[in-house]
A and B are shown apart, each in its own frame.
Chain A
Amino acid sequence: MLIALDDVSKQYPNGTEALRDIDLRIDAGEFVFIVGSSGAGKSTLNRLLIREELPSSGSVVIDGTDVVRMKRSQVPFLRRKIGVVFQDFKLLPNKTVAENVAFALIVTDHPARAVREETERALALVNLTQRRTHFPRELSGGEQQRTAIARALVNRPRILIADEPTGNLDPVTTWEIIKLLIRVRELGTTLLISTHNAEIVNALRQRVLHLDHGAIVRDERQGRYAA
């Protein structure tokens, strides 16, 4: 069991109940779509996994570690196991594609040689080697998205969380990204993808987790976007 949530609820300080009584088990190597209307709690669930937020009650265990009770000093090591692709990319505008990707390795204290080699590997994986010296503003939306994916993957995390990875992309680019994610999954990474894109979910027929008002209302092995 890679991810285990038991009886998890999350209430934000302003009183919003974002998640209610979530029980969830995800095995290593799974491909999981998280669907649900806007405000259903998808991003909140992701934030609990990397301990950007703490649950109000319940337990979150990742790779055998109790995320809720873990020491603050251990949080960085949890996060190194989980790559995150953010909806707004969060690329640094004054760094090139290669520098943005290398950044994740440098700040986690990898030696220079590893930084160079792993950065090249990640760039090759997302097919951005040609764009390595470009700045984010010089890239298309899909290229920025792939840069964000490369950065999320560069330190070989066990889990990849992608929040709306195809948000503003045209259909062709969307499929490029999805093909890339399938390749990542084949390399052994567990994928959690939050999306509003019914077409993709319906085409891939993977596990679908449907959130509604903070509760899991559907969890299907080979699910579709809507029941």
Chain B
Amino acid sequence: MRRIGYVVAAAWQGFWRNPVMSVASTLTVAVMLLLFAFFVMTDRGLQAAVGILESKVELVVYLEDDAKPTDVLELRRRIENDPAVEAVAYISKEQALERLKEIARRRPELALEDVTTNPLPNSLEVKLASAQETRRVSGMLREEVGKGVIYDLVDNPTVVDKLLTITRVLSIGGLAVLGMMLFVALFVIVNTIRIAVHARRDEIEIMKLVGATDWFVRWPFIVEGMLVGVFGAIVALAAIAAVAGPVASSLVGFLDIVPVSLGPNFIAQLAAGLIGFALLVGGAGATFSVRTHLAK
């Protein structure tokens, strides 16, 4: 117990002994964690979108809210008459919302945002006899977009493909950037601790000569590295909290998937993950630094 008190006090003093360096490495860690959080959140969001779209429907025709029922019926009959079409189903706004809620219930990482005004359109879901015909049928229908009845057309296989590509590119690019940031953060922490060790070299020499154990000498520096990590995580989490709202809504808008966002469960996991990751990076960097600079 007294040892923990001593170690934390010494680490705290060490952190503020060279505040410029400590704050710089804290910010570096924070930036790395922000990137990390950004990639995790985007990845989760895209995966959720893919999951939602991966229902069996192959072609969705979104209808104008003010389309005349007779026009809709006429459109539906025309689609049904196409030999490539197997079935057509009319999905009302309300049914669409109900379905979305059902999906959200089954996926705990998703939470529905406020849905007092239903932003979903009425739609026709078209199931095709053969997937090869998708392009022709969607091409035919696309010509009618904006002419009063059809407001938009989504052909699912293409969208899913696109999303998967984006996810893949993001995770590869993200991993590369994250790897570089991790390297930079480790480098900065190792140097911060090296400088801290250097600043206390006389003290360390005496500690060893009067019989302090290696670990007694090392722990304050390792904890100082962890402090850098935790402070970095706090800065990153504060930044996330500040921008989460606007970013989430623009992300939702960008993905065109209505009121789905990442649930509180996920946010808690993310916060715990960031702090854990930061402790690990700070502790590992400091341990490496202490092991190389305190040898002998």
Contacts and interface: CB of A to CB of B under 8 A. Distances in A.
B250 interface: no
Given A90-B206, A92-B203, A76 B212 contact: yes
A50 interface: yes
Nearest to B203: A92
A142 to B, nearest CB: 21
B209 A84 contact: yes
A72 B217 CA distance: 14
Nearest to A100: B206
A104 interface: yes
The binding surface of chain B is classed by DSSP as helix
B136 to A, nearest CB: 77
A52 B6 CA distance: 26
Interface string A83-94: 010100010100
Interface string B182-221: 0000000000000000000011011111111110110000
A72 B216 CA distance: 14
Interface in A84-111: 84, 86, 90, 92, 103-104, 106-109, 111
Contacts of B208: 76, 79
Contacts of A106: 6
Interface residues of A, number: 23
A79 B6 CA distance: 21
B214 A107 contact: no
B147 interface: no
A14 interface: no
A76 B204 CA distance: 13
A112 interface: yes
Interface string A172-200: 00000000000000000000000000000
A107 B207 contact: yes
B206 A92 contact: yes
Contacts of B206: 90, 92, 103-104
Interface in A45-83: 50, 52, 72-73, 76-80
Contact of A108 (B2, B202, B212, B214): B212
24 contacts: A72-B214, A73-B213, A76-B211, A76-B213, A76-B214, A79-B209, A80-B210, A80-B211, A90-B205, A90-B206, A92-B202, A103-B206, A103-B207, A104-B206, A104-B211, A107-B210, A107-B211, A107-B212, A107-B217, A111-B2, A112-B2, A151-B210, A155-B210, A155-B211
Listed from nearest, the 8 A-B pairs whose CB atoms lie closest are A79-B211, A80-B211, A107-B212, A104-B210, A76-B211, A107-B207, A76-B213, A108-B211
Interface of B: 2-3, 6, 202-203, 205-214, 216-217
Given A72-B214, A80-B211, A90-B206, 12 more contacts: A52-B209, A76-B214, A77-B211, A79-B208, A79-B209, A104-B206, A107-B217, A108-B210, A108-B212, A109-B2, A109-B216, A151-B210
